[in-house]
Every structure is written in C-alpha cells, then in structure tokens.
A and B are shown apart, each in its own frame.
Chain A
Amino acid sequence: MKKIFVDYRKCVACKSCETACAVAHHPGGSLFALVGDSRTQVNVRVLGVEHEAFPVSCRHCDPAACLSACPAGAISRDPETGAVVQTPEKCQACAMCAMVCPFDAISFKHTHQALPGREVAYKCDLCHERLIRGEEPACVQACHTGALVFQESEPQREKRAAASLKVYLLGEGGEPPLFSMYRELRRRAFARRRMEKP
C-alpha cells in the first residue's frame, strides 16, 4: 500500500497542501468557492513547532486505534487503497477516535459531508476517490519541495537510506548550501526568541 511520507526538513511552510486539500474536499471544487465558507474542511495542517514546520494529517495506521474505538461503526478501511475512512452520517461526534489518535489528526466541525446541523469528526481520507482515478492525494500533488511524497514504503525507505548514505559516505548531495544557511538562521532566531542559547 502506498502511504504519504513526510520529510519535514523539506517543508517550507507554504501551506499549499492545506489549500489543495480544502479545494479537493469542497463541493465547489475551487479556491474561490471555499473563501469565507465555515464548512470548508482542511484535513492537513502545517504546524509550526518552533523553527520547524510539519504537515500533520492522518497516518492511516494499520491496525488503526480510531477504527477499533469507534462505537458507531463510522470508521472503516477502504480495501483498495488501505485508507482509514469515515462515514459522516454515522458519526455521533463522541470523540473516542480523537482521544485514541496518537497523532491528533482528527478534528470536529459541521462539514459539508455532515448531516444538517451536526458536528462530525473529520480527517484525511487519503483522497481515496482520487486514488481510484489514478491521481495522487491533493496535498502531495501540491507539494513542490518533496516534503510530501506518496509511495510504497519499501522503495521510499530504500531511496531515503541511499540518499542519507550518499551524504554520510561520499559527503555529497544534501541540501543546497544557502537553504541550509536559511534553516540554521531560522533555528537560531527561534532559539533567541525563546531566550535559549543559539
């Protein structure tokens, strides 16, 4: 099964993933339709953790704690894509799923998928409908820096291991020097703001 892999060091916090996700999950299907719409659903959030940025979304665990915990049977696994998906009509917003989620990837609001007037749990659905059409998840497609990639885990692991070893063994590859400098200066600026030693 393919998964969304996150390389946070490549994330520049542009939040293109957030916008693309919102558009992909909006009934209007366009950026301009979702502006000012409080029911817009964004399933990935770029969180700032000091100087680092991390796009957080559902990891589609297997086994999934949320799936086991849901008393309403509103969470299931899509057999074709392996995505953990919700059925908003069944959701009772009891928040058991959110409590057991190790990644805090589940939020609640009155989304477009919810029954009228109901708040429901919502999270990343791995764009499983797009996957069936042969497309990538919207966030991955929107990411220009390669911070988000959608791949089988084994080839991805091998590729990353080889890239790291290339830096370690041959001293080549790695980040462009000015980007490394930018990351380092950003780290120091945050450390100072927190009155830590830079």
Chain B
Amino acid sequence: MGTRPDHRSVDPAAAAMLKISDREGFDTAWMRLEAQQPQCGYGQLGTCCRNCSMGPCRIDPLEEGPRRGVCGANADTMVARNLARMAAAGASAHSDHGRKVALLLKEVASGRNTDYTIINPDKLLAVAGRLGIPTEGRDVPSVAGDVADAAIACFGAQSEETIPFATAYMPQKRQELLKSLEGTLAELTGARIGLMPRGIDREVVDIMHRTHFGCDADPLSLVAQTLRCSFGDGWGGSLIATECQDILFGSPTVRTIKANLGVLDPEMVNVLVHGHEPVLSEKVVEWARSPEMAEAAKAVGAKGVNVAGLCCTGNEILMRQGVNVAGNLLHSELAIMTGAVEAMVVDVQCIMPSLADLSSCFHTRFITTSEQTNIPGALHIQFEEHDANAIAKRIIQTAIEAYPGRNAAKVYIPQETEEAMVGFSVEQVLAALGGTPDPLVEVIANGTIKGVVGIVGCNNAKVQQDFFHLSLTRELLKRDILVLGTGCWAIAAAKAGLMNLGAQQLAGPGLKAVCEQLGIPPVLHMGSCVDCSRMLVLTGALADHLGVDTAALPVVGSAPEWTTEKAVAIGSYFVGSGLPVHLWPVPPILGSPAVTKILTESAKDLFGGYFFVEEDPAATADRMESIIMEKRVGLGLEKEETCSK
C-alpha cells in the first residue's frame, strides 16, 4: 500500500486509506465537498438572511441588485446578525458541555451519584480558592457542592453582574479595560453596549433575541454582543467544563501516547470514542481495561479490548488516561474503513452523520449515546450519568459481540503512528517551569523565545488535511516561537511527530535550547477544544505576572482549517481577550465592509485583539512574527529597528 501524499491529506495514513476508499467507492467528506460545488456565494459572503418568512433575502455583493432585504436590513446588518448566531451556536455547544459536567459534580458532591468520584481534591481547592469559596476545615463533598453551585449559577444568572467564573479568572487589567470600553461605547453611541458576560445562557438568548426579526441592526452592537456571548463561553462555559472535568477526572499530567490509525490493534476488539465529552468515555476506558471485559474479549478470540480516541473525546482521554488517539475530524470516516473497528461510540459535536451509513458497510457498531445526537442508522444506547458503569459495560459488550463479525479480508490498518508527549495543563506547564511563570517570562524577555502562538483545531475538507496545521507549526518553530494548542490541531501535531522530543530539532536555536533544558517538546498539547480555556488562563497568568494587559503580550492565536461555529466563539473570545487571531478559511463576513472593518481594524483599537485572514502558512507565520515583534517593542524588549526589519 503506497503512502504517497494525497491532495486531500498530508497524513500518509490518510493517503493509504483514501486509496482504499477510492477503490471501494466509499463516500467521504472530500467527495461530498466536490459534489457540493459550486457553493453559494451569498452564504460564503454572509449576505443571505433566513431569519423571517418575508425572506430569504440576499444582498448582491456586486452592488447591482437589491441592497436591502424585505425588512430593510442591509449587508452589514445581515452579516453581523449571521456571525452573532454562529457564535451563539458555538458558545452553546461548549457551554452546554460545561453545564453537564457541573451538574455531574453537584450529583457526586451530594452523594446522589456514586458511579463517579472526585479524583482531584487539590484542583477542587484551587478552584474554590479562586472563586472565594471557603475551604478551611470543610470536607471535599461540601466544597465540591459549593463549587458546583457557583458553576451552575453562572448559566442561569439573571442579574446585571458579571458571572463569578469570569471575575475570578479573567485578568484584572482586562476586566478594567472591558468595563471602561463599555463606558466609552455608551458615550459614543448613547446606547448601553455590554461586554462582560452576565449569564452564560443569557448571552446566547440575547443574541437569538436581538437577531430576531426587527431588533438590532447595528453592526457594532451586534459584534459587541458576539464578543460578550463568546466571553460567556471562554471565561464561562468552556472554563467550567475544563475545571470541573479536572476535579472529577484528574488534571492532565505529562505522559506519552501514540497517535494515528496505527494505534488500532488487528488482534484486539477496537473501540473508538469520538465526540467531545469525557464523562462517558472515562467510563468506557475504565471498563475496557477491566479484567472482566478482557476475559469476555478472549472468549470471542480477541486478545483484549483496545480503546482509542478520535477528535476531542480523544483529546480528553489522552490527556488524563494516556489513551492512544486514532486521529482528528477527517480521520473519523477513514478509521471505520480500516475494517478493524468493532464499535465507534460517540457523544456530541463533530460527529458526521455519514458515519452511520459507512459503518453499515462493515461489522462496525456505530453507537450514539447522547439525547442531543441521534443519527438515523446508528445503534442508540442512551447514556445516563447515574448508571454510567452499567451503560459503559454494555457498550463494551456490544463491541465484543461485534468482533466475530469482522471480515479479515476487509481489514487494512495503516502502520503509521508517532509518539507524542501530551498532558500540558496549565498546572503541568507551571510545574515544568519549576512552579512559577518566571523562567518562561525570562526566556521570552531575553529573546531566546520570541513569543507564543496558540492554535486550535478542526479539519476542513476545503484545506488539505493537516497541511495548514503542520506547515504553520513548523514555520513558527523555526522562528523560535513556542506553539501550544488544542483540538484537532493538537492531534495533527501529534500524528506528525511534532510533540515528541525529537521535534526539538525542528526548532530555532533559542527555542530548542529551552525545550532541551526543560525536557519538553516545542509543541504543547493543552487538551480538547473546550480546553482553549487553559490557553486563556495561561495567558492571564503571564499577563498578571508581568503586571500588563493580555494585549501587550507577544501571543497570537490561530484557527487554521476551522470548520465549526465553536471556532467562531473561540476566535471571538481570544480577540476580545486582547489576542490577534488568524483564520483560514475566510469567515462569512466579506459581504459587509463595515463588519470586516470592525473585526480586522477597529477591534485592534478597542480590544488589542483582531482577526486577520491569510491562506499561506509561511506568510501567516511571517505575519505572526511581525505581530510578536511589534508587541515585544511595546513591552520594551526590542528596539524599534528590530521590528521594522
């Protein structure tokens, strides 16, 4: 089987599977993308509005046809409304994930759920400390109950106050800046334009309300609300997800795993967990590793049960349980095509409905488990937190029962795997530095490392799989820029070997020396896409340590190969938190000159953060380097000339 590069993916394992797919005629995301061509320009420009039944209305980008919808909304209004709704959907997905974990923490704390325990009391105390919840002389369950209550209250809060998680975690200087911006905007417009999130759910509902027929038409206030809702995600829902998961399942610790399709074992029952939430998959891993299930697997002729992850469920369990990861988003179909997957168990988000049909070509059981993700053709095993053990066991048993149906003639597992050192939670990053950000600050200050870039995932069939992720990462390493990130980017980097110590050789001399001294790779895996909150917290810790605002830091964000509405929310909370953010592909905003200007130019003056779009990885790295140099000059770390060079 050849492993020649393929125009659809730079991953040799993917290239091998695509060869099989082409031969067998399997339907893939890439084929469906071609079948969708040409895709509608109104949608790509953001100038199609379906918000009422006088529509749908479209605005002619060539300025020859209609310039206003039936209600009078122009391109600026439509684009801003559509963007706000994307962020609302993205923030909802992340935050609803956080809600479930917070509710589970409450159930465990109250003793109503005994299937889970609090693995990490240290983190619990740290979170309680941040939130100002007293811990002296109190037992773990009662503190956990208070932390859970504080988290749950952030969702439905009805007052005008900022949610406690945001006030407890967002750097003080940033909070002051956002509050003063609220004042400036009020002076400029006479209107109350809020930025600090009042309630996680409320900010989503606010967007759905103000984008309803006949409400907000002003691109500026719509964009402001987009940021506010996204803050409710980054400094709210996602953060709650990360913190409560760390309390329940343990904070990630540094460990080595294997990544890519080669982690599937030809002689074992292979169970893939795919989606985003670790609540079920933690239990699946626990049961798969149990002697009872190993015996059951042996009874059907397998050597045991092998669990591997996909997407962010994969990221969650590799960070905490050291489970190998089979791939990122565009690997999900390819994994089933190996013919060696007994069960794909999915929870929520980024699960392509195509997986049900594809699984039916094999013995693979495609198992949906969430009330929010029902897919025709799937086997649905309803997950209930209070009965987690029994359900996880039943899932593993279902996989074992499928094993005798495996057709050896259909099995092909690409041998590619790479080792990856993962598990860099903020706690672990600080531990690697010796407990304080000082050493990192010092190497950045003296220019050994120029700055930091945080990259977040997705794959997008419009971009050669992993191409942008990997090219950009390699370019940044060469420039002595530390790269960290989450999501499908992190899996791409792991698959390509950028997260093992050997990758130090790809780094510029300064970064290489630092990584060698600390014994870490130059590319750090910080978790799943909700764990972008870890990047916010780390950025905040650096800013606080230096006594500056986050916007002053030589830190840039990027979402190359972005696909989901969640990425819109992530990009927005990074920008609102003061970080310049690169995007590719282009978001659907070019139909509006006003919104494009706000996001790419005005945002810089207001927030310090702004969006920029670039389609070439090397040019993106150049731009990031120049932004970093500009920030270094701002901090007095470089002279003006260095920057202009």
Chain A residues in contact with chain B, CB under 8 A? 10-15, 46-48, 52-53, 144-146, 175-176, 178-179, 181-182, 185-186, 188-189, 192-195, 198
Contact of A198 among B61, B463, B586, B616 (CB under 8 A): B616
Q: Given contacts A53-B38, A185-B586, could you give 12 more A-B pairs where the C-beta distance is less than 8 Å?
A: A13-B39, A144-B66, A176-B62, A176-B63, A176-B593, A178-B596, A182-B41, A182-B590, A192-B463, A193-B7, A193-B463, A194-B7
Residues 474-526 of B at the A interface (beta carbon under 8 Å):
none
Interface residues of B in 422-451 (CB under 8 A from A): none
Instruction: Report B-chain residues with C-beta under 8 Å of the C-beta of A181.
Output: 590
Residue of A nearest to B7 (CB): A195
**B171 contacts the other chain (CB 8 A):** no
Task: Please indicate the chain A residues that have their CB under 8 angstroms from the CB of B61 in the complex.
Answer: 12, 145, 176, 178-179, 182
In the complex, whether B44 has a CB less than 8 A from a CB of chain A is yes
Given contacts A12-B61, A189-B615, contact A46 B463 (CB under 8 A): no
Q: A15-B40, A48-B38, A193-B7 are in contact. Are A179 and B62 (CB under 8 A)?
A: yes
> Would B62 and A175 count as touching, CB distance under 8 A?
yes
Mostly, the A contact residues are: mixed
Nearest residue, chain A, Cβ from B61: A179
A146 engages B62 (CB within 8 Å): yes
Chain B: interface secondary structure? loop
Interface contact A46-B585, CB-CB below 8 Å:
no
B616 and A178 contacting across the interface, CB-CB below 8 Å: no
Residue of A nearest to B44 (CB): A182
**Nearest CB of chain B from residue A120's CB, rounded to whole Å:** 26
**A181–B61 alpha-carbon span in the complex (Å):** 12
| Inter-chain contact A145/B45, CB cutoff 8 Å | no
Residues of B within 8 A of A15 (CB): 40
Q: In whole angstroms, what is the CA distance A193 to B41 when docked?
A: 18
List the count of A-B residue pairs having beta carbons below 8 Å apart: 81
Among A48, A175, A182, contact of B45 (Cβ-Cβ < 8 Å): A182
Interface residues on chain B, number (Cβ under 8 Å): 30
State whether the Cβ of B60 lies closer than 8 Å to any Cβ in chain A.
Answer: yes
Q: Which 10 residue pairs of A and B lie closest in terms of their CB atoms, listed nearest first?
A: A12-B41, A48-B38, A48-B37, A144-B65, A13-B38, A53-B38, A146-B64, A179-B61, A182-B590, A178-B590
Q: CB within 8 A of A47: which of B38, B58, B463?
A: B38
Q: How far is the CA of A121 from the CA of B58 in the complex (A)?
A: 34
**Cα separation A189 to B586 with both chains bound (whole Å):** 10
Chain A residues within 8 Å of B590, by CB = 178-179, 181-182
Chain A residues near B250 (CB-CB < 8 A): none
The answer to whether A144 and B41 have CB atoms under 8 Å apart is no
CA distance A112 to B446 in the complex (A): 77
CA of A175 to CA of B65, assembled, Å = 13
Instruction: Knowing A189-B585, A198-B616 are in contact, say whether A14-B64 is a contact too (CB < 8 A).
Output: no
Q: Please provide the chain B residues from 29 to 62 with a CB less than 8 Å away from any CB of chain A in the complex.
A: 37-42, 44-45, 58, 60-62
Judge whether B135 is part of the interface by a CB distance below 8 angstroms: no
Chain A residues with Cβ below 8 Å from B464 are: 192-193, 195
**CA–CA, A33 to B290, complex, Å?**
58
Q: Are A189 and B462 in contact (CB under 8 A)?
A: yes
A-B contact pairs, 13 of them (CB 8 A): A10-B64, A12-B45, A14-B41, A14-B42, A48-B38, A146-B65, A175-B62, A176-B63, A178-B61, A179-B62, A181-B590, A182-B586, A194-B7
Most A Cβ at <10 Å: residue of B45, B60, B463: B60
Inter-chain contacts of A144 with B (CB < 8 A): 58, 60, 65-66
CA distance A46 to B39 in the complex (A): 10
Give, as a whole number of angstroms, the nearest-CB distance from B5 to chain A. 8
A10 closest partner in B (C-beta): B62
How many Å lie between the Cα of A169 and that of B512 in the bound state?
Answer: 55
C-alpha spacing A26/B42, complex, angstroms: 26
B588 to chain A, nearest CB (A): 10
Q: Complex formed: what's the CA distance from A12 to B44 in Å? A: 9
Q: How far is the CA of A40 from the CA of B67 in the complex (A)?
A: 32
Question: Cβ of B278 < 8 Å from any Cβ of A?
Answer: no
Set of chain A residues within 8 Å of B585, measured between Cβ atoms: 185, 189
* A179 and B47 alpha carbons, distance in the complex (Å): 12
Contact A13 B40 (CB under 8 A): yes
Q: Is the CB of B615 within 8 A of A13?
A: no
B580 at the interface (CB under 8 A from A): no
Q: Does B90 contact A (CB under 8 A)?
A: no
8 Å CB interface, B1-33 against A: 7
Give Cα A53–Cα B43 distance, bound, in whole angstroms. Answer: 15
Asked if B314 lies at the interface with its beta carbon under 8 angstroms from chain A, I say no
Question: In chain B, residues 460-478, which have Cβ atoms closer than 8 Å to a Cβ of chain A?
Answer: 462-464, 467
Contacts of A11 in B (CB 8 A): 41
| Cβ-defined contact, B62 with A145, below 8 A | yes
Report the Cα distance A14→B60, complex, angstroms: 11
C-alpha spacing A151/B42, complex, angstroms:
26
Let me know if B275 is at the binding interface, CB within 8 A: no
